[in-house]
């Protein structure tokens, strides 16, 4: 699919503002990258939307943490990794919301120590050997754990920016429209190499 975003501005701004290209990079291309991230992770596969990894992933097996006892949301990611390992995959990443990751790195034991690294030091974004990827494309307590070798991004057209003076009423309004677009797809080689679920869904005592 082709993803695109655009912005209109005055011809005078294009002429008068030094480094206007940097402005476009920090707004237009940034917006396009956010769209692409959203599609890759949670596109619903309808219309022009890509079938994102969350859409095609298998459900998390909540029984892995069964049997009682204390567990926390970090353990859920580990259990999801176990679920994939049991069928022969090599899970290497987890996607969660930035707010959920903050809750994880600020989680403390009953004696006050941080469960992960002390946030006053450089906190490595890893848990249970998974690279943690906080992303605004995932919300709430949802998560995605997967084997990154089982999906491929097929880039057909790299990001490009084009300027038009003829869009809509640009010519008579002294406006310029900048359009950024790219064309790519995501090929999920093995949908069962990705697990999705909720960080608060396991039959045990949550922490």
Range of weakest confidence among 33-42, 64-73, 76-85, 98-107: 64-73
Q: What angle do CA 187, 143, 99 make, to 5 degrees?
A: 125
Higher pLDDT, residue 22 or 124: 22
First to last CA, the chain: 41
195-206 pLDDT per residue, tens? 999 998 765 444
The share of the chain scoring above pLDDT 70, in percent, equals 93
Higher pLDDT, residue 173 or 14: 173
User: Residue 29, class by beta-carbon neighbours within 10 Å (0-12 exposed, 13-18 middle, 19+ buried)?
Assistant: middle
The number of beta carbons lying within 10 Å of the beta carbon of residue 10 is 14
* Phi, psi dihedral angles at 155 (to 5 degrees): -85, 115
Dist CA 33 CA 44 (whole Å): 18
Task: Supply the pLDDT for residue 207.
Answer: 46
In 3D space, the residue among 64, 104, 103 whose CA is nearest the CA of residue 80 turns out to be 64
105 — pLDDT class (breaks 50, 70, 90):
confident
């Amino acid at each position: 699919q082709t993803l695109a975003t655009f912005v209109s501005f005055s011809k005078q701004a294009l002429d008068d503002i030094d480094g206007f290209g940097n402005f476009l990079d920090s707004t237009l291309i940034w917006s396009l990258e956010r769209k692409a991230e959203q599609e890759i992770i949670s596109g619903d596969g309808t219309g022009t939307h890509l079938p994102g990894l969350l859409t095609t992933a298998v459900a998390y097996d909540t029984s892995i943490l069964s049997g009682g006892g204390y567990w926390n949301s970090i353990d859920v990611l580990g259990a999801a990794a176990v679920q994939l390992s049991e069928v022969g995959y090599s899970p290497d990443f987890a996607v969660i919301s930035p707010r959920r990751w903050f809750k994880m790195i600020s989680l403390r034991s009953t004696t006050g120590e941080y469960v992960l690294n002390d946030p006053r030091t450089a906190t490595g974004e890893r848990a249970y050997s998974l690279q943690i990827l906080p992303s605004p494309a995932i919300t709430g307590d949802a998560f995605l754990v997967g084997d990154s070798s089982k999906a491929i991004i097929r880039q057909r057209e790299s990001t490009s920016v084009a300027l038009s003076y003829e869009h809509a009423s640009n010519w008579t309004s002294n406006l310029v429209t900048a359009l950024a677009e790219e064309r790519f797809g995501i090929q999920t080689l093995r949908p069962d190499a990705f697990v999705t679920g909720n960080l608060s869904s396991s039959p045990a005592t949550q922490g």
